[in-house]
A and B are shown apart, each in its own frame.
Chain A
């Protein structure tokens, strides 16, 4: 073979593979973290939901990309007047990927399993109000609550509340069998997960024939993988500093949305001197949110003044309560008898919002005389020392669970905020089903937290995704951690 024909052969082979790559019925989606296993009902790892939520597993209700809760496997429901009984009518003709039929028995199994004594469901509290699940007939299931719960339908939309089948539960961690528009095909651990279209899907079928999730944790590698067009989309892009480069490149589109992640400077409310509200208020006024957003997140993120997501209709802007005012902070410290400042610790877990943000926070605190010693920790250490041991002064973390203001009603929770009034308010909120009343209560709750300066409220974490220009139908926001591909397609 002459050199010329060799080159010809090679280039035609290249053209062939290139042709195969642009056949627009598959997608390669990259994410930073790999799921530890594939059971969304027994781990907190958001990566599990990212791959499987809505794609493979579905619940009775589900989140849409805009955060609204709509019917999922339940096509309709009736709520009794006392708010204690929910009767769900299931979609007809739903089958699991192994061919078995979904019926009310599977719903009962899933919910009973999640709330059982030996349950390993990371969000077991979601199911705490359920007192009984009864099968009325194969298409109808009745759930009785011990107390009215205004967010029950919302709770059922979580990835931790998806419906699984007793037939396939034993192998769910490696071979997840759900009802979704995609079925699980293959997992090369450390590398990728392949999904393929479920031809027998009960609802609107997926447009793509197959999808591959790749896991690229290193920010530099993430950048290269998109730039080299190895991946079609990167959901939750880890390097905000690279975003302008993608925006300027016509090959790519950048999606900037919001998440449920309230990024806060958590304060140990039981540790002196933070048990004094004046000191917490001083911390709040010492912080310049915008410079943290600019410095740590390259401008992506929305300032918050309480523990609540700005895209929620019930949000009140309370950032004014804790506006940046170092002089006031110093005065407050003096009033608290700490005119000379004090020393404390600042534990920083690995994400860049914490590590980069922490440097800036420490510098700002130093200006009012608070010397925060930075301690970098891994997640496992953070959980052990800060979360379980409550052995910390300050820490930075993003609380990514949707609608999690209820954590402030748990006095044993790591920041140890103990306010009877707030706890009663939360109990009220749980029991209220009237939407307007709920909004009022939620706004009251936000105000209490803001005025008690429980934590330093920094910003709402942004969701940054980069995709090739032709990809359409990706979620911009992340109302729950999901990479819902059921409506994704390629533009012609």
Chain B
């Protein structure tokens, strides 16, 4: 640690320069990257696990930096100007110019990039061009809908997929297996918004058990909130459940052919007992991987479902922001999702290394 600090002092002045008003950030980030780099290359007294973690952390930060660059400049290249969009077709050119100044759009792209990244590091995502409220607040409001919805859908999909997958695996080749496989084939093929429309038709318009859409708000109580998320969660969950059930089934079938399963059977366990005690645990690795992937898909990919059920979630925010060219909102939401995915990967990498020491010495 001592070395780290003296290293900071040596490099600090060297790397301090100003872009926008984010002087210290640039300096600290550059410093951090340098120290991580040198530190992770130092072979001597640093334990391999720490060194491995630092390397992963360095790659995490670099990935985020590259992602932020790509996201910012790709979105900025798209044709369309938020100020013209706001003011419509009767506005005079000087009015548009005045609004561009008010929004800070007259500054150079690089200054805005530095401002954006610098702000994000401090938890400030900037101010929306159209809504004129802090982006961070907007995103967190929307996450209160999108996150529970994703979790709800994931739980439903697991609750459907596990029994279905296990049942199909245990009756391989029989009618039950065929039925489950047929149903999942359909579930994979049919898009979730079609389920959504059918559910609305049956449960909202005909039976009146649910509202056709909208979100009651958590302030109306947990049940009211969950009630309004039920149809969207089911329509999101069905295709995911179909995928998950198929993965579950094939993972179990793979395991059933393993030596240790034969040993378990030889020990005197029935086929079903062996499946439950030994098969299921081992089949969980691919299944959990898929669940992890599905969660990030559900969080980011509910755009259409949020439109169909007019839910005030993250997907709808992005949708509105893109059409209004509210670039800073789009950039920040995308960045947040990238951050979530990269961080989860980072944690998974660390978890693998913790479990499997051989990984620590690999680069």
- Report which A residues bind B (CB closer than 8 A): 34, 36-37, 42-45, 117-125, 173-174, 188-192, 214-218, 220-221, 224-225, 227-228, 230, 350, 378-381, 383-385, 387-388, 399, 401, 404, 407, 414
Contacts and interface: CB of A to CB of B under 8 A. Distances in A.
Contacts of A215: 310
A414 B312 CA distance: 36
B105 to A, nearest CB: 12
Interface of B: 78-82, 84-92, 94-95, 98-99, 101-102, 130-133, 138, 141-142, 197, 200-201, 204-205, 208, 211-215, 217, 307-313, 316-317, 320, 322-326
A44 B320 CA distance: 16
13 contacts: A120-B99, A122-B91, A123-B91, A189-B131, A190-B311, A190-B312, A215-B310, A220-B197, A227-B205, A230-B214, A350-B323, A379-B85, A385-B79
Q: Binding site of A, secondary structure by majority: helix, strand, loop or mixed?
A: loop
Contact of B95 (A119, A228, A379, A404): A119
Contacts of B101: 118
**A-B pairs, 4 with minimum CB distance:** A44-B88, A380-B80, A190-B312, A36-B130
A380 B91 contact: no
A222 B323 CA distance: 19
Contacts of B133: 173-174, 189
A228 B204 contact: yes
Contacts of B308: 218, 220-221
A125 B92 contact: yes
Contact of A387 (B89, B98, B138, B322): B89
B213 A225 contact: yes
B125 to A, nearest CB: 15
Contacts of A44: 86-91
Contact of A380 (B89, B98, B138, B324): B324
A216 B310 contact: yes
A178 to B, nearest CB: 18
Contacts of B204: 224, 228, 230
A216 B320 CA distance: 12
Nearest to A385: B79
Contact of A228 (B131, B205, B217): B205
A42 B88 CA distance: 11
A120 B95 contact: yes
A401 B212 CA distance: 33
Given A190-B317, A224-B213, A228-B211, A384 B79 contact: yes
A190 B142 contact: yes
Nearest to A44: B88
A217 B91 contact: no
A195 B233 CA distance: 30
Nearest to B132: A173
A188 B86 contact: no
Contacts of A414: 89
Contact of B215 (A42, A191, A388): A191
Given A117-B94, A380-B325, 18 more contacts: A36-B86, A42-B86, A43-B88, A125-B92, A173-B132, A173-B133, A189-B131, A190-B141, A214-B214, A218-B307, A218-B308, A221-B310, A224-B205, A224-B213, A378-B322, A380-B84, A388-B84, A401-B90
A190 B325 CA distance: 16
Given A228-B212, A384-B84, A190 B320 contact: yes
A404 B90 contact: yes
Given A44-B90, A122-B90, A190 B313 contact: yes
Contacts of A120: 87, 95, 98-99, 102
B211 A230 contact: yes
A37 B88 contact: no
B81 A34 contact: no
A190 B316 contact: yes
A261 to B, nearest CB: 12
Given A43-B87, A44-B89, A384 B324 contact: no
A409 to B, nearest CB: 13
Contacts of A121: 95
A380 B79 contact: yes
A407 B177 CA distance: 68
Contacts of B316: 190
Given A120-B87, A189-B138, A224-B204, A384 B212 contact: no
Contacts of A122: 86-88, 90-91, 95
Nearest to A215: B310
A358 B178 CA distance: 48
B95 A221 contact: no
Contacts of B90: 44, 122-123, 125, 401, 404, 407
Contacts of B86: 36, 42-45, 122
The winner among A45, A118, A189, A378 for most chain B CB atoms within 10 A is: A189
B312 A225 contact: no
A44 B133 CA distance: 19
The winner among A34, A173, A224, A230 for most chain B CB atoms within 10 A is: A224
A383 B81 contact: yes
Given A188-B312, A215-B310, A221-B213, A380 B87 contact: no
B132 A381 contact: no
A221 B138 CA distance: 23
Given A44-B87, A121-B95, A381-B79, A36 B310 contact: no
A37 B131 contact: yes
B110 to A, nearest CB: 22
A124 B323 contact: no
Contacts of A34: 320
A383 B89 contact: yes
A227 B88 CA distance: 33
A380 B205 contact: no
Nearest to B141: A189
Contacts of B95: 119-122, 124
Contacts of B217: 188, 191
B23 to A, nearest CB: 29
Contacts of B98: 117-120
B92 A124 contact: yes
Nearest to A382: B80
A377 to B, nearest CB: 9
B235 to A, nearest CB: 13
Contacts of B92: 124-125
Contacts of A173: 131-133
